[in-house]
Structure formats: C-alpha cells, structure tokens
Amino acid sequence: MGTASKKILVTGGVGYIGSHTCIELIASGYDIVVYDNLSNSNIEAIKRVEQITDKEIEFVQGDLLDETLLTQIFSQHQFFAVVHFAGLKAVGESVAQPLKYYKNNVAGTVNLLEVMQHHQVFNFVFSSSATVYGDPEQLPITETAPRSTTNPYGRTKLIIEYMLEDLCASDPRWQVVSLRYFNPVGAHDSGKIGEDPNGIPNNLMPYISQVAVGKLEKLRIFGNDYPTVDGTGVRDFIHVVDLAKGHISAIDYLVKNSTDKKESIGFFAVNLGTGSGTSVLQLVNAFTEATGQIVNYEFSPRRAGDVASCYAQVDLAEQNLNWQAHLDIYDMCKDTWHWQSQNPNGYEK
C-alpha cells in the first residue's frame, strides 16, 4: 500500500512542531486527523496549514485524558500510526506544578497507548527531547548516553520513554520511534506559521525575535562565564522544517518495517539535531546578519538548570532514517524573522 492509504493521528498537531509536521505529512501523501485540546496552541494555526497545503484538515478538539472521545476517533478511523506531540513543555511551570505535568503528559500518554492497543494500532512516533540526557558527560551526545533529568518536565519525557521500552518488550507488535529533539527553531518559509509561545518566551529564539520586532525591550543572555567558545551557552539549534521532515522519515521507516515483515524494530530512539553547536551570542549575531535587525541584549547571571553545552551525534538518524538536517543557522534566523515580522502578535490570541 502506498502512503495515500495510510492514515496518521497527530496529537498536539496544532502546536509549533505539530503544525509544521502536518504540512510535511500531507506533502508526503499521508491522510491526517489532528487531535489537540488547544491548551497551548491556537486553532488559527490549522487554518494556516490548510491555506499552505490547500487541504482541509480533519480536526478534533480533545484531551489526552478523554478516553471516550479517543475511543470514538479510533472507531471511526483505521490509523496506521500515531505521531504524539501533545504535552505540556514549560520547564519552569513543571517545577511549580509537577502533578499537572505528570497527569497530562504521563497519564495522558498511558490513556492514548491503551486506546491504541485496544484498536490494534501499534506504530508510534514519540516527541521526545534531548532533555532526557540531562547534563551530558560527553559531546556530541549519542543515543546510548546515560539518561537523567533535572526537572519534572524532563522526567515526564524520560518516564514515557521507559514506558514505551517496556511496552515494546512486552509485545513485538509495538514499533516505536522516539525522536529526541535538540533545540527546534525557525518557521515555515511561507511566514504563515511559526512559534507562538504563551506570554513571555522561555526559549531563546522567540525571545530574540520578539525583541527584534519591538514586543520586548532587551534580551538577557543567561551567563557568559561558561567554558564555551565565548562564555555563553552552546546548543544544537535545528530548523523546525528539518525536524518535521524527520517525523516523515520516522513514519516511512515504520511503513517499510511493517510491509517488509521484518522483525519488529521495537523501541528505537534517535537524535534529531544538526550535530553542531552554536552559542547564544553566535545566534544573536547570526540573527542580525540574516535579518538586518539589531537585538539589544545584556549579560545576566546563569539560569538555574542550564547546561553549558549540548549538541547531538546524528549518525543514527542518517543511517537508519536516511535523514539529516539541511537548513543552516541563517535559514533559521531568516525564517523566524519572516514569521515574526508578518505576525508581530503571533496568531492573535
């Protein structure tokens, strides 16, 4: 069967990475159903995805914990796989409200997996994160690096990975690709969709773009005394479109393993990054070079919980998923600015 007959449930598909992945799933010929509770996203994003793809998107507003609604959806559709983005992801909020994170992210995912199992849907792509590596002992970080986390948000990602490993070990019908994202940034080149954080951005790139567009006064660079090229933090920034395409490669990998009747892949964790590190200051300078926009900043004390450097070993994705990132830091800055300058207030909540 070609991809056209493959139907994918995309949980959290209205969000930043989810909406970009919906575009790539449609472009690759998959049919999609989007399931999102809109707690941290704006339905306008789906309208923009429909404009970009010229396709009507089947959207269901619902919560991961709503077993009745999920059951109803799985009764109506024969899904080949689920791409699971839905989840709370603010590190600081997770420290203040851990139960909210464990209930929504962990209990919600258990509920989803139970409904999948009941309906014999065993292909799963999980939105994981480099946060499961904690403070890396070695760089670049390989998928076999020890996992440890320092905040409830990161722990929910790690607990879900452990759950998925146990599930795959219990039943070979389960095939799981756990995509460990490094630092997603950028926007679709149409400028119609992009990152639209609630309130003041926690993450660097949306903060930079909101300073550039005049919504925020100045960027505080958290620490310039790290043992790095210029003292500021180093991260593996990856363009959200490259990241979205990594999900297509993961689905294609599941399709291939299902049709070739090879032995189950079981639980397969893979890094999605560029494999190279960029410092905070280098990103600020690249943003100005790429967009002509000045970004006012000052140095501030380090942010609790930050690691000095974090970037990926990406051989596994290249070898097994035949995927690698192609867009560079200037594309990330240019596309971010195109989105932000066209949408100074995001999707206008």
Distance of alpha carbon 307 from alpha carbon 293, whole angstroms: 28
Judged by CB under 6 A, does residue 94 bind ligand WQD? no
Q: How far apart are the first and last CA of the chain?
A: 41
One residue of 126, 207, 287, 323 binding ligand WQD per CB under 6 A: 207
Work out whether 180 is an interface residue with ligand WQD (CB under 6 A): no
Q: What residues numbered 314-343 form the site for ligand WQD, per CB under 6 A?
A: none
Window contacting ligand WQD (CB under 6 A); options: 44-52, 55-63, 197-205, 262-270 = 197-205
C-alpha angle 327/329/331, rounded to 5°?
55
**How many C-beta atoms surround the C-beta of residue 325 within 10 A?**
24
Cβ 283 vs Cβ 329: under 8 Å: yes
Q: Which two tokens stand for residue 140?
A: 């670049």
Instruction: Identify whether 153 is a catalytic site residue.
Output: yes
Interface residue with ligand WQD, options 20, 180, 235, 247 (CB under 6 A): 235
Neighbours of 95 (CB within 10 A): 15
CA 286/CA 185 separation, integer angstroms: 13
Q: Encoding tokens for residue 127? A: 């939105």
The reply to whether 272 sits near ligand WQD by the rule CB under 6 A is: no
Q: Quick one: which of 37, 109, 175, 183 contacts ligand WQD (CB under 6 A)?
A: 183
Which of these ranges, 169-177, 214-222, 251-259, 315-323, lies near ligand WQD under the rule CB under 6 A?
Answer: 214-222
Give the range of 11-19, 49-57, 78-86, 215-223 binding ligand WQD by CB under 6 A: 215-223
Under the binding rule (CB under 6 A), the answer on residue 240 touching ligand WQD is no
Count the residues of the shown chain that bind ligand WQD, applying the rule CB under 6 A. Answer: 18
Residues 35, 133, 153, 181: which is the catalytic one? 153
285 is an interface residue for ligand WQD by CB under 6 A? no
Residue 239 contacts residue 325 (beta carbons within 8 Å): yes
Report the SS3 class of residue 124: strand
9-38: contacts with ligand WQD (CB under 6 A): none
Residue nearest to ligand WQD (CB): 233
- The packing angle between helices 108-118 and 67-76, to 10°, is 30
Shortest spacing between CB 260 and ligand WQD, in angstroms: 32
Helices 329-342, 204-212: inter-axial angle, 10-degree rounding: 50
Residues within the interface to ligand WQD (CB under 6 A) = 89, 91, 129, 131, 183, 202-204, 207, 219-222, 233, 235, 280, 303, 306
Q: Tell me which residues are annotated as active site.
A: 153
